[in-house]
């Protein structure tokens, strides 16, 4: 068996690093185990903005501070930001439909078209919403946006990939994320599905990336992870 730990890396990021092994490896290995801490902020700098316009004032861009959020915490943080635009703006959550509504008695407009928009989390479409008294999301609140699964990419000379998504992006392994924030994601081949990696030539160094469902780097906030390979041929 071969254990690859992110803390043994060359590089500063536990999501994008190089690792060397003492003995060259070749052949086909099955992924036996993977242990990944779910220490990813569900609100980050790449998904925390909302643009609000009230009255005749110019639109203002608001940012929810990055961090771990549950439903109530996210509502409170969003409400705090909305009040900086106007004290009469409110946001509410319907427990029955799991949808967010943003409202103002005198009306407001919203713009979720920015690349860093919080729309995917709140359930809004990535579009502009014209002046109205209230705006209700078309989809449910989704605090797991982009992190329902992890893509592990192992790059080395002569390595082959086992997984391809509908956009043609390739990864070595895909790990479902079934844990809440601060939980430990445990992949075990005995209770999941077989995934293999094949080294067509001897390898002593690998470039390893941990990516989200959109193939962008995952920030574990300093958390370390590992995976275990078992050679099958």
Kindly state whether residues 125 and 160 are assigned to the same domain. Answer: no
12 pLDDT band, cuts 50/70/90, is: confident
How do 60-63 and 173-176 pair as beta strands?
unpaired
- Phi, psi torsion values for 85, nearest 5 degrees: -85, -40
Among 136, 168, 184, identify where a domain stops.
136
Among 136, 160, 186, identify where a domain stops.
136
pLDDT tens figures, 133-145: 999 999 999 998 7
Kindly state whether residues 55 and 127 are assigned to the same domain. Answer: yes
**Does 55 reside within a domain?**
yes
pLDDT at position 118: 97
Question: What's the mean per-residue pLDDT of the chain?
Answer: 94
Percent of the chain with pLDDT over 70: 100
Q: How far apart are CA 149 and CA 36, in angstroms?
A: 11
pLDDT tens figures, 193-233: 999 999 999 999 999 999 998 899 999 999 999 999 999 98
Kindly state whether residues 153 and 222 are assigned to the same domain. Answer: yes
**Does 142 reside within a domain?**
no
Kindly state whether residues 24 and 73 are assigned to the same domain. Answer: no
pLDDT at position 105: 97
pLDDT at position 180: 86
Among 81, 107, 136, identify where a domain stops.
136
**Does 101 reside within a domain?**
yes
Kindly state whether residues 157 and 188 are assigned to the same domain. Answer: yes
pLDDT tens figures, 159-200: 988 899 999 999 999 999 988 888 999 999 999 999 999 999
pLDDT at position 146: 83
Kindly state whether residues 36 and 53 are assigned to the same domain. Answer: no
Q: How far apart are CA 60 and CA 52, in angstroms?
A: 5
Kindly state whether residues 217 and 157 are assigned to the same domain. Answer: yes
- Which structural domain range is residue 130 located in? 49-136
**Does 141 reside within a domain?**
no
pTM: 0.86
- Counting the structural domains of the chain, the total is 2
CA–CA–CA angle 90, 91, 93 (5° rounding)? 145
Q: How far apart are CA 206 and CA 229, in angstroms?
A: 14
- Phi, psi torsion values for 82, nearest 5 degrees: -65, -35
pLDDT tens figures, 74-115: 999 999 999 999 999 999 999 999 999 999 999 999 999 999
Q: What is the 3-state secondary structure (H, E, C) of the chain?
A: CEEEEHHHCEEEECCEEEEEEEEEEEEEEEEEEEEEECCCCCECCCCCEEEEECCCCCCEEEECCCECCCHHHHHHHHHHHHHHHCCCCEEEEECCCCEEEEEEEEEEEEECCCCCECHHHHCCCCCEEEEEEEEECCCCCCCCCCCCEEEEEEECCCEECCEECCCCCEECEEEECCCCCCCEEEEEHHHCCCCEEEEEEEEEEEEEEEECCCCCECCCCCCCCEEEEEECC
Q: Is the dihedral of CA 39, 43, 45, 46 positive or negative?
A: positive
Q: CATH code at 177?
A: 2.60.120
Kindly state whether residues 103 and 32 are assigned to the same domain. Answer: no
Kindly state whether residues 175 and 223 are assigned to the same domain. Answer: yes
């Amino acid at each position: 068996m071969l254990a690859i730990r992110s803390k043994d890396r060359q590089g500063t990021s536990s999501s994008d690093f190089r690792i060397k092994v003492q003995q060259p490896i070749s052949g086909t290995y099955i992924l036996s185990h993977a242990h990944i801490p779910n220490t990813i902020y569900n609100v980050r700098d790449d998904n925390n903005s909302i643009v609000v316009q009230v009255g005749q004032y110019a639109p203002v861009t608001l940012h929810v501070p990055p961090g771990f959020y549950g439903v109530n915490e996210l509502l409170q943080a969003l409400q705090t930001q909305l009040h900086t635009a106007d004290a009469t703006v409110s946001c509410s959550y319907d427990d029955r439909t799991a949808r967010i509504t943003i409202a103002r008695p005198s009306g407001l407009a919203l713009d979720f078209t920015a690349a860093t928009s919080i729309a995917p989390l709140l359930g809004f479409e990535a579009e502009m919403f014209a002046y109205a008294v209230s705006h209700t999301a078309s989809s449910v609140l989704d605090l797991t946006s982009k992190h329902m699964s992890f893509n592990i990419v192992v790059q080395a000379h002569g390595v082959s990939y086992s997984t391809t998504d509908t956009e043609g992006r390739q990864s070595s392994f895909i790990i479902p994320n079934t844990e809440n924030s601060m939980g430990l994601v445990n992949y075990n081949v005995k209770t999941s599905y077989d995934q293999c990696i094949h080294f067509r030539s001897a390898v002593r160094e690998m470039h390893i990336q941990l990516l989200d469902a959109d193939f962008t780097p995952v920030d574990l906030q300093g958390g370390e992870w590992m995976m275990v390979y078992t050679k099958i041929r």
